[in-house]
Structure 1
């Protein structure tokens, strides 16, 4: 017996973060948390408004968004291309899958010293590190989805004499989309995580740079502003992907019904 999915309640995903904020507010007000270690919510809110007022927050946020978007674009493009090559051809699978699995086992942090030697400490190195972080989950999940396409659909396409293009549109694309969207959600998370790291390497702008400068001067309220921003960006981007996933895979709900 298959249970029908419950309709989503608007804003229900904000319940957990709202509860954490409430606990933070209560704990700070009762003195359970030292203000020298974690600033109270009202102090963080005041710093947030001050950073907006002087334009510092907008400038750093724009720089971070540009880096994350560039790395995400190239990571999705490369990961999807590699997954198609490995998932649709035997030679591609033999040549590419092992390499990606090796990269999967190597943390991005371990690649930063080599990336600095090869590409310098400018924007190119930062975008490449973000790209590598995004590429792996896109490849892994899309490749798995391609390998998991029901053989009956392939045989049906062969019996109907589908052309290569029609086979890709009618069989490969719908079959790979569920895995691709899972990889995209993970890839966006990897993009934000890599962004935090690369913006501490000779950066002169970005949320990570702003947090690093605040750490040097002991400004925990600005560090918390940066953490909250990363959290909001992560939740918003994940929600956007989930929305696109529901629209693109609406046909699955019809089949399940």
Structure 2
């Protein structure tokens, strides 16, 4: 009888799973976020409104006496630019808005720091600001007229009051949400009060401040619309009020378009600064 001899040194059969070539992993697509930013996505909404407006005017669905066609508005704007009225009034309006914005931002930032870094400051400042927050700035116009008259001072102060509240609220909130460990670390390395404000407080409050700036620039233009119709002799609002007297709807629409473009450009500038200064944050907007 023959026997088969098995060599004990026979190597084991390798596992197929271990020797298989690893398959490349598929890239997991993010489905929960909003996706990549669209090129010129900010213009989609305005372009859609403009298209609907033009289509309605061309089809005769919109009464030209109530809302002139876009091409009529463009012609009126060209005439206003040609005779210099639009540039002159726009320069006056921009000066008022920028002055009010500057004073409002400075006051809001200062009071937010005083209130955010001191319990005594918070007790003295935060309550009156919250009361002011509940009172619309435009409701104070009759009182401001009695105090400051109907000149430029009243107009700039009204705009500044509209800007002050959002700057204070969002900056103060940004200060209060700074991690307390940073304050403890600053005490450990013996930073001075000024160094603590410069290196910890201001960078920590920057996101809240920039968010407040977006609301502040909008509030500045909203306040400007009203104050320029209170015994003004120049400005976009004055031009619109004069057009209302003569029933010139097209000029009123031009003024509204200018206000809208100013607000859109201002907000875009603040968002551009926000994107540059806060590029280190990882958010859904990135």
TM-score between the two structures when normalised by the length of structure 2: 0.86
Residue 3 of structure 1: CA displacement? 7.0
Alignment partners' CA distance in 2, 1:95 and 1:114: 23
Residue 4 of structure 1: CA displacement? 7.5
Alignment partners' CA distance in 2, 1:3 and 1:158: 41
Question: Which of the pair has more CA radius of gyration?
Answer: 2
Alignment partners' CA distance in 1, 2:39 and 2:46: 15
Aligned to 2:165: 136
Give 3-state SS (helix, strand or coil) of 1:154's partner. Answer: helix
Alignment partners' CA distance in 1, 2:245 and 2:40: 37
Aligned to 1:95: 124
Aligned to 1:50: 79
> What are the equivalent positions in structure 2 for 1:117-136 lying under 5 Å apart?
117-136=146-165
Aligned to 1:72: 101
1:37 corresponds to which of 41, 66, 69: 66
Give 3-state SS (helix, strand or coil) of 1:238's partner. Answer: helix
Alignment partners' CA distance in 2, 1:5 and 1:153: 33
Residue 184 of structure 1: CA displacement? 0.5
Residue 233 of structure 1: CA displacement? 0.6
Matched pairs, number: 255
Q: Residues 138-184 of structure 1: CA distance to partner in whole angstroms, max 9, x if unpaired?
A: 00000011011111221222222222222112210111000000111
Aligned to 2:227: 198
2:256 counterpart of 1:227: yes
Residue 2 of structure 1: CA displacement? 11
Alignment partners' CA distance in 2, 1:179 and 1:17: 28
2:47 corresponds to which of 18, 28, 32: 18
- Give RMSD over aligned pairs: 1.8
Compared with structure 1, are the counterparts of its residues 3 and 81 closer, same or farther at alpha carbon in structure 2 (3 Å cutoff)?
Answer: farther
Alignment partners' CA distance in 1, 2:32 and 2:115: 35
Aligned to 2:281: 252
Alignment partners' CA distance in 1, 2:194 and 2:261: 40
2:37 counterpart of 1:8: yes
Q: Residues 176-202 of structure 1: CA distance to partner in whole angstroms, max 9, x if unpaired?
A: 000000111100000000000000001
Alignment partners' CA distance in 2, 1:122 and 1:220: 27
Q: Residues 42-73 of structure 1: CA distance to partner in whole angstroms, max 9, x if unpaired?
A: 11010000000000000000000000000000
2:101 counterpart of 1:63: no
Compared with structure 1, are the counterparts of its residues 74 and 54 closer, same or farther at alpha carbon in structure 2 (3 Å cutoff)?
Answer: same
Q: Between Structure 1 and Structure 2, which shows a larger proportion of helix residues?
A: 1
> What are the equivalent positions in structure 2 for 1:113-192 lying under 5 Å apart?
113-192=142-221
Residue 251 of structure 1: CA displacement? 2.6
Give 3-state SS (helix, strand or coil) of 2:238's partner. Answer: helix
Answer with 104-113 or 127-136: which moved more.
104-113
Gaps of 5+ in 1: none
Residue 252 of structure 1: CA displacement? 2.4
Alignment partners' CA distance in 1, 2:97 and 2:261: 14
